[in-house]
Amino acid sequence: MDKKTIGIVGARGHTGAELITLIACHPALELAFVSSRGLAGQRVAEHSNAYRDELRYENLDPQQVAAKAADVVILALPNGKAAACVEALDAIAPDTLIVDLSADHRFDASWYYGLPELTRDAWRGERRISNPGCYATAIELSVAPLRDVLAAPPVCFGVSGYSGAGTTPSDKNDPEKLRDNLMPYALTGHVHEREASFRLGLPVEFMPHVAPHFRGLTVTSNLYLSREMKRDDVLARFRDAYGDEKLVRIVDEPPWVSRIVGQHYTELGGFALTADGRRVVVVATLDNLLKGAATQAMQNVNIASGLDEYLAIPM
């Protein structure tokens, strides 16, 4: 199989490490470069058990990234930092497939929004792909099957492991401050609240929290219905929506974060209805570094490269 070259910008973070692991096992991709200011000069293999070659991290500016002329570039940068690389790639290597993991292009209609289970049929050959946020992925998958029968904005309570706060030191990724604690933050206007609202076409109310565990998140969504429904009716909608999806699993009981860590799929469960059948609670769990980031990026790279969507994604 002819291999496409792929590079990662911002590879020092947790998601970058997961991407390296997926690419190292991919039969159709070859890692061409990994850009990281903090790890420049060090061998990638020293930081990834899956990678075996001699490639070293480099500290590349946007023009140097574009000059590498890789077939695919994944931007794993903090929010607000993607523009310079995109501008350089547009100017120097416009045919490059770009997958942006930040929020910078999730509201840009000229970029394909890559949540394959909901947007796969909308891809029209775009070479600029915005990868959804981890919480937004869980919210959108939880709400979409019932979107047309909602009577009020979904109310979503989220809890994530502290890997979601990145590697830059802060209260939200300090294990000592999180010990025996649940830390609320950005209780209105969180970027994933705005993203899910924009993509679902309805207002979403979202309250995120950070917990002491490292990875994995849960979103519990309170959904008010415009008409009475039975649990079997709700389940039928979710099974119709996701029954053929390899990376979405419908379970009967509310799923647990501890069971999703290291897995590449989302679990949706609970489906508890009130006695009047006018409110249902749906629970979603996913690994924020995998289906919430790296795995979803790999789905998008595969789709845009004409490959099987699930190639190199462990099932």
Identify the pLDDT of residue 1.
67
Query: Where do we find the tokens 């990234």?
Result: 65
Find, among 42, 41, 45, 14, the residue nearest to 31 by Cα. Answer: 45
Pairing of the two strands 205-210 and 183-184: antiparallel
Domain with CATH 3.30.360.10 in the chain: 134-288
- Reported as a single tens digit per residue, the pLDDT across 230-262 is 999 999 999 999 999 999 999 999 999 999 999
Contact partners, residue 259, CB within 8 Å, separation at least 6: 267, 285
Identify the pLDDT of residue 12.
76
**134-288 belongs to CATH 3.40.50.1860:** no
Domain with CATH 3.40.50.720 in the chain: 4-132+292-304
**Residues designated as active site:** 134
Q: What's the CATH number for 4-132+292-304? A: 3.40.50.720
Mean pLDDT, contiguous 10-residue spans, the chain (315 residues): 92 89 97 95 93 94 98 96 97 98 97 98 96 98 98 98 88 94 97 98 98 97 98 98 98 97 98 98 98 98 98 96
Q: How far is CA 93 from CA 58, 63, 64, 125, 128, in A?
A: 19, 10, 11, 17, 12
SS3 for 10?
A: coil
CB 94 within 8 A of CB 62: no
Identify the pLDDT of residue 21.
96
